């Protein structure tokens, strides 16, 4: 990750980016840029709509970027993040290692640019053996903006570090990150920031009769785990915790309902939900947010081994529910259901789960956001959607009508683990909601957990999509608790 410092006065002969927000046709002016460059920039901007300029001054570069003003303030901020990724690409191409950023921008827009550059600087090259392996040559950014404080930059670095941890976990192949490895990673990051953590291994999972986790694990040679993380700061403003649940399926073959070959190429990403939630907790603790948070992360792989669970099986879950298995590839909801039932032990104010759960979610909204349903959590949902707009990790709310309950009814058990092809994302949510008796939000991140090509500052491969959303929401949740007597800590 690149390093960042705040400067009061710029340095001479150092590559510099000047960024401006302008309406179409409006001229660019600055006392720091000579008139010849300004005249060229304004002519190109007005005549051709050109918005990025680079001037090679031999000892350094002068970069000028113009972001067109937009009435949507959230999109405007997002354009600055994307500019950060764009500038990093240029710096890498030209082997620019240091850059100072001078922007006639407000605090939010200036920080968005820095955030974009931070996030774009991620690389996963652990397995490249060439000593000249390709990495980002760019190394350091100085920020010159009177509105931005050093504390603002530190916050960005903490959240970006959490996103980086998430990406590392999701990019790591199954051969080096099974369920026990994922739990160990969660333990290590918990110890870094003072989170209490416990890992239940197979014997404890069996003792608790978590049938969903055990059923999915039957075909594997590796044991399952169930990680419980608890962040309880002394200044927590909430009595009832915010509980985060994440799907930790470290590899998914589909089980006996085997996936076609091409569909298994990226199945190391199937634990992205757990990685997102655990890394968001890491950031919440590192930031010292005054909110009590619990993380529950069931983990296993799903393989067609000799003892694998099969379609037609009846699985007795942690809460006593009998589930008819109609598709072994609907395994994520099986392990999540045990975790959601277990969440009742913490008397939560709200439970949010994240999972790469259904192709239906991806097909419905593409790689642009998170598909979502909620049960008894409308006020939290409104807040979460607002947070999604702020960080541009947006949420698409799906209906959750009671008629959908009929689609998971079983003739021989309490419910079945998969409905018809129609409304696949919603019926998966209905299955999960069956195990809840508290305000509940389900986030299906199947469309955004991993990209097969570079996408703005997100890059190729694991995205970390959702970490920034949950951190933003945890901060907002703390504010809600301060003004809600039911949620707030009883004194």
Among residues 288, 295, 251, the alpha carbon closest in space to that of 269 is found at 251
| Structure tokens belonging to residue 263 | 């569909």
Q: Which residues contact 7 (CB under 8 A, 6 or more apart)?
A: 100, 142, 143, 144
**440-444/370-375 β-pairing:** antiparallel
Q: Helix (H, G, I), strand (E, B), or coil: what is residue 45?
A: helix
Active-site residue flag, 161: no
From 6, 155, 259, 344, the catalytic residue: 259
Of 333, 375, 416, 430, the active-site residue reads 333
Tell me the torsion sign for CA atoms 142, 148, 149, 152: negative
Closest CA to 225 of 172, 262, 274: 274
Q: Residue 69 — φ and ψ, nearest 5°?
A: -65, 140
3-state secondary structure of 395: strand
What Å distances lie between residue 356 and 140, 334, 395, CA to CA?
A: 34, 13, 14
Q: What does the block give as tokens for 271?
A: 């634990």
Active site includes 97? no
DSSP string, 309-323: --TT-EEE-TTS-EE
Contact by Cβ (8 Å): 349, 439: yes
Strand bridging mode 61-68 / 52-56: antiparallel
Side-chain half-sphere CA neighbours of 328 within 13 A = 26
Phi-psi sector, 334: left (phi>0), alpha (psi -120 to 50), beta: alpha
Q: 97 near 3, Cβ under 8 Å?
A: no
Cα distance between the two ends of the chain: 42
Instruction: Give me the active site residues, please.
Output: 259, 333
């Amino acid at each position: 990750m690149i390093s960042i410092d705040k400067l009061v006065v710029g340095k001479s002969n150092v590559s510099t980016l000047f960024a401006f927000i302008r309406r179409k046709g409006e001229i660019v002016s600055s006392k720091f840029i000579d008139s010849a460059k300004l005249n060229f920039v304004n002519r190109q901007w007005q005549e051709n709509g050109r918005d990025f300029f680079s001037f090679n001054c031999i000892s350094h570069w002068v970069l000028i970027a113009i972001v067109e003003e937009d009435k949507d303030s959230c999109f405007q901020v997002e354009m600055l993040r994307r500019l950060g990724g764009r500038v990093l690409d240029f710096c890498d191409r030209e082997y620019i290692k240091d850059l100072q950023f001078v922007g006639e921008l407000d605090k939010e827009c200036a920080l968005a640019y820095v955030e974009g550059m931070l996030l774009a600087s991620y690389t996963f090259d652990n397995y490249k053996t060439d000593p000249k392996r390709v990495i980002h040559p760019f190394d350091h950014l100085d920020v010159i903006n009177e509105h931005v404080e050093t504390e603002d930059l530190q916050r960005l670095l903490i959240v970006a570090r959490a996103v980086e941890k998430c990406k590392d976990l999701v990019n790591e192949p199954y051969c080096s990150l099974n369920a026990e490895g994922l739990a160990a990673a969660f333990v290590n990051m918990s110890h870094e920031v003072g989170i209490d953590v416990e890992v239940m291994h197979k014997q404890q999972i069996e003792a608790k009769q978590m049938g969903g986790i055990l059923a999915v694990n039957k075909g594997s040679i590796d044991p399952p785990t169930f990680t419980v993380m608890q962040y309880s700061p002394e200044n927590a403003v909430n009595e009832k915790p915010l509980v985060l649940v994440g799907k930790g399926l470290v590899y998914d073959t589909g089980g006996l309902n085997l996936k076609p070959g091409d569909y298994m190429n990226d199945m190391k990403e199937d634990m992205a939900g757990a990685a997102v939630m655990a890394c968001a907790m890491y950031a919440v603790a590192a930031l010292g947010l005054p909110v009590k948070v619990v993380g529950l992360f069931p983990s296993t792989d799903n393989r067609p081994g000799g003892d694998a669970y099969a379609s037609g099986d009846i699985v007795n879950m942690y809460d006593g529910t009998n589930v008819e298995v109609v598709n072994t590839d609907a395994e994520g909801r099986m392990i999540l259901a045990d975790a959601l039932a277990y969440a009742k032990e913490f008397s939560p104010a709200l439970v949010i789960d994240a999972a790469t759960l259904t192709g239906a979610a991806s097909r419905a909204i593409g790689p642009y956001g998170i598909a979502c349903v909620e049960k008894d959590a409308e006020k939290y949902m409104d807040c979460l959607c607002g947070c999604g707009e702020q960080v541009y990790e947006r949420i698409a709310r799906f209906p959750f009508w009671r008629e959908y309950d009929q689609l998971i009814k079983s003739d021989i058990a309490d419910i079945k683990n998969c409905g018809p092809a129609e409304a696949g994302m919603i019926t998966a949510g209905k299955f999960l909601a069956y195990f809840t008796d508290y305000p509940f939000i389900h986030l299906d991140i199947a469309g955004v957990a991993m990209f097969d090509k570079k996408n703005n500052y997100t890059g190729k491969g694991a995205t970390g999509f959702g970490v920034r959303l949950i951190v933003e929401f945890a901060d907002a949740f703390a504010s809600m608790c301060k003004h809600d007597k039911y949620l707030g800590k009883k004194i």
